[in-house]
Amino acid sequence: MLTLTGLLCLCFSVVHSLPPDKVSAFHIIKTRSIDLNNAHGLAMESRLEKSVEPTGYRLELEPYLEDGLFKGHVSINITWLQDADEITVHSAHDIEITNTEVRAHIPADSKEVHKIIVKELTADPKKPIVTIHLEKVVPKSSKGHLDFSFNGNLETASTEAFFKSTYTTEQEVERIVAATQLRPNNARRMFPCFDEPGYKTPFELSVVRPRTMIALSNVPVARTEDITGEPNAVWDHFEKTPPMSTFTLGLVIADLKQLGNSTCYKDDNGNDIEFRVWGRPEFLPALEGVNEKVFRVFTEIAGLWEVPLPLRRLDIVALPNYQGVKPADNWGLIVFKESDLSNKGYFQLAQELSYQWLGALTTPAWWSDAHLNKALVGYLAAEVAFKINDGSEMEGKWPMTVLYSLYYEFGKRYPHSRITGMKQETACTKIELLFRMFNYTLGGDTFKKGLRMFIETRKFKTFTGDDIWNALTTAAVQDGKIPKDFDIKTIAKSWIEKDRLPLVTAQRKYDTNSVLLTQKVFLRERPHDVPDAARMSWWIPIIIAREDKLNFTNATPLAWMLDKKELTLNNMPNKDQFIILNPEEIGPFQVNYDKENWNLLSQYLQGKNRQSIPELTRAKLLHDAWNLAYAGELSFATALNMTLFLKEEKNHIAWDPVFTMIDHIGRHLCQCLQGKFQAYVRTLLSPLYEELKNEREDEENWRKNLRSLTKTFLCQAGYKACVKEAQDEYSKWMLSPNPDEGNPISNQYLCPVFTWGTKKEWEFGLQRVINFPPSRKQSERTYLLKTLAGCPNDEEKIKRILDIAVLEGNGNFTETDLFLIFNMLTGSPMGHTTLFNFLSNNWQVLKEKFSSKTNLWDNLITSATSQFTTQDGLALVSNLYVAHQGEFGSAEHIIEKSMRNIREEAKWSAENIPVIDEWLTSYLDRTNYKNNKHLHVQ
């Protein structure tokens, strides 16, 4: 058991003024009156020649803060790995190297150091690499050092590399900040170095700072020295760091104050660390409680790893005007945006503290392993946040919402739309969920045991994915969690190496109390003709919750679907009792069942014991049902039956998939079913809205968000109370003496009024767009125009805005406005149908009008023809194509693609629309739905 001492203590650094070892002539701060890169790209980067390797850095930096300049000197201890007369290092093109020296012990065992003459220094014009050409070959195994003197400019356009920024105090005094963000490969922009993650060496840093500021780095200051002739500046010499990669080197020079006293953390594993929190003096009140948060989060992470950090101090800084996308997580020095450090959550802090072990203590060997590092950190941070406050800050977004996003993305015919950045993010998220799966299936103790094995063997070194998988395998085999012929790497690779996720179908055999499990690729978009789909398979853990022995705490797999397509399990419950495969979404895959099992689940969820199924699993069942129906794998009657339990549901996590379902299905239905579907939505959501509509003091964010979503979707569906509230608010604008001076109401009221309100109200909004004064923010006009075009389900309103903006060529509407209008009309059947008729009826005029505006013409054809989903819609588009064949110009391929897609969608509609229609009719009859009770009729 860990024994922790969390006493607040005053920790003092003893600062000595000692004679400098070497002081150059110009140690001044001010001149005297006389300037998540993405991982994929980094993985492709050329590596340095391996002729030498660094074994230590001695770096001196002299920043001229007001002028945005710095001078420096670095001495790098090196060992020759082979006979070589060339050395390559990283150095950005705007680093000016003023002097280069190379010295070596020759022969290798000699105590005598020889200066090796540098013949030439050449810079690669395309890469930040400098090559040092030596006069003679230095033998392998020789040791020596490489010295550079250099000048550089502090970065001012961003907070990357070695940067300078400014901020203004409450007393209107401008202050300067200098700091570093060297991730992922920005050390080369500060000094010549071997800027690759695999080179882990100690650093000794010295920096000149103004006497009135503080300097913070990875380790404490060893000594501070005065500078002769510079009374306002001092040298800070920091202690030697542990071995670390260049990107974890950190530095802050700023006018900061410490928040309260230091916190000292000590445990039985060998950690003995002082925590300090820093910020500008006027911001410290906003940081109250951060000391305690840091201590609490660090306690959880240190207890997980049980491997001590070789640090005596950890400084955490809220840096004013820091604009980094993520904190600068240097070893021993973490730099946050002020707003990030002052927020109330734990997740981001847990991420940054986790990087002290996973990223600093051990480091990915190359950028190709960075996404795995990020995934494990993300998962562990989520675990910590859930342990501290049940993950309340995530409000159900983890893991469920990220899972929904993965199912949607990997269910496309072309995932990521070939966008590399998105591909890296989704790959990282999938691996994060794999770690969650292994934590469940191996058990928390075994999972932690494997991670501890991994980091113990790789501390002060680099790692690859194999190091993590092999350690988890060793722990799992030792603890009997997997058979000896299994390995975690094989399981993990089956998930990581595919841009797809599986669908498992459980077909119960009720006469034999067995279940046949099959797996295949989950495809959401049609047609389902993805190459190699038939050959794809995954190692899938089979975990089953069963009604006769209901238990959601046992996550030990009954079996694994290795690389097989089928698996039969016996001893299942009787025919009147359900099973749930993959409860709590333990693995990132969806599950389909036979109709009888779905019905058993629906009936149980509508019963009094509904909450014995946890909310994550309730959400999973609901999401799987409608998503599988959308993909054509399940009857919509079955999927819609799974929503019946929601009349008693109050948990926001279980409600989360509902709004996506309403949006996706609502967009797909023909105009003929919109009325029934809106009635269903009003009946479904109105009880929840009535319960949530009264705000509470200090209510949770999830409640606010759930109320907002419920209200938004009810308003779109014409809920009477909602629309009346919107019209009452809108009337304030209509009655204002100078309506063009500004919109006095919230944007949330616009769409309900434009959808369900009067022609007069909509016309008033249109005139506000036409008369919009240039003095107001254009974003306000853009939002107003979006709602005017996208919200109405009235053909007359839509036709009017098209006539004015397009046919009449009203000068108040720009080409950008036309793009916006066309795109917004694709969001509803009435919108795109009206746009299609507008195109068809005005073909010659529009063809001539857009003859020289190819982008607008293409966008119009896309918006007008691509959204139909029925056979009738296909006939409309096909007739237009035949009537104007050869006239589409640049949009010829667009309408041809539209017809291909509509054919697929028409098949879906032919199969599903009658089913949905029948179910909605029956549902509304059963619920005695009264149209005038819910629907706003103008």
Which residues form the catalytic set? 352
* Strand partners for 146: 76, 102
**Cβ contact 490:563 at 8 Å:** no
Pairing between strand 203-210 and 143-153? Answer: unpaired
CA neighbours within 13 Å on the CB side: how many for 634? 35
Buried b (16+ CB within 10 A) or exposed e, 81-112: eeebebbbbbbbeebebeebebbbbbeeeeee
**Cβ contact 198:365 at 8 Å:** yes
* Strand partners for 116: 102
**Cβ contact 569:543 at 8 Å:** no
Cis, peptide link before residue 399, omega less than 30° from 0: yes
Match 């759930």 to its residue by tokens. Answer: 706
Instruction: Give the chain's radius of gyration (CA, Å).
Output: 33
Match 């113990």 to its residue by tokens. Answer: 456
**Cβ contact 899:660 at 8 Å:** no
Question: Residue 716: which of 694, 764, 672, 748 has the closest Cα?
Answer: 748
Residue 739's CB is within 10 A of a number of other CB atoms, namely 17
**Cβ contact 423:507 at 8 Å:** no
Question: Residue 379: which of 433, 334, 428, 340 has the closest Cα?
Answer: 433
Question: Residue 406: which of 623, 706, 563 has the closest Cα?
Answer: 623
Distance CA 525, CA 528 (A): 7
What does the chain come to in residues? 938
Distance CA 300, CA 295 (A): 9
CA neighbours within 13 Å on the CB side: how many for 51? 15
Distance CA 249, CA 273 (A): 19
Distance CA 934, CA 780 (A): 31
Q: Is 591 left (phi over 0), alpha (psi -120 to 50) or beta?
A: beta
* Strand partners for 181: 161
What angle do helix axes 420-442 and 488-496 make, rounded to 10 degrees? 150
* Strand partners for 566: 518
**Cβ contact 295:6 at 8 Å:** yes
Report which secondary-structure segment, H or E, holds 407: helix 402-410
CA neighbours within 13 Å on the CB side: how many for 445? 5
Distance CA 209, CA 188 (A): 22
- Beta-carbon contacts of 370 under 8 Å, excluding residues fewer than 6 positions away, are 39, 42, 43, 184, 364
Q: Residue 106 is encoded by which pair of tokens?
A: 């020759």
Cis, peptide link before residue 19, omega less than 30° from 0: no
Quickly count helices (H) and strands (E) in the chain.
28, 31
Three-class SS state of 308: coil
Q: Is 718 left (phi over 0), alpha (psi -120 to 50) or beta?
A: left
